[in-house]
Amino acid sequence: MTSFDMLLEALAAVGLILLLVLPIWNFYDLPDTIPTHFNHLGEPDQYGSKNQVWILPVLGTGLFVLFTILARFPHIYNYAVRITEENAASQYRMAVYLIRGLKAMCMLLFAYIIWATVQGALQHGTPLDNRVMFGFMGSIGLFLAWYIFRSVWVKQP
């Protein structure tokens, strides 16, 4: 693993830990009804049982495991270019970066959503900042665009 791989894995691990610790730490302080959906302004617009706070940690843990397994098998992915002996190593390396980057961004995004849910439930102001959400979505989009550009149009050694 390169230092960039280790950075992405560390960010993903931090996101997963936050995703799991935030609901555990705050569960008994949460009211029986918590925000379960936010509108485009970041304000809660749907509510449900506080037990629903576990949905995102369970999904996030599943995604973390899935992305971790997928990163070990880049040869099974579909690629936008034909994989040859000359480009296989660079294409596989970029695909692994993509998977690890998406894993890190998803874990951090899910952790932020859980934090906002807890804050909204505990009435600590408008919890979800739509600028942060758009920042996450934009980062994911830029990361995907970088991968596609590099894998299709940039000649690899």
The structure tokens listed for 86 are 């000359």
Least confident of 24-28, 93-97, 109-113, 127-131: 127-131
Mean pLDDT, rounded, of the chain: 91
How does 119-131 read in b/e, with b if 16+ C-beta sit within 10 Å? Answer: bbbeeeeebbeee
Strand partners, 38: 44
Model confidence at 156: pLDDT above 70: no
Model confidence at 157: pLDDT above 70: no
HEC sequence for the chain: CCHHHHHHHHHHHHHHHHHHHHHHHHHHHCCCEEEEEECCCCCEEEEEEHHHHHHHHHHHHHHHHHHHHHCCCHHHCCCCCCCCCCCHHHHHHHHHHHHHHHHHHHHHHHHHHHHHHHHHHCCCCCCCCHHHHHHHHHHHHHHHHHHHHHHHHCCCC
Model confidence at 139: pLDDT above 70: yes
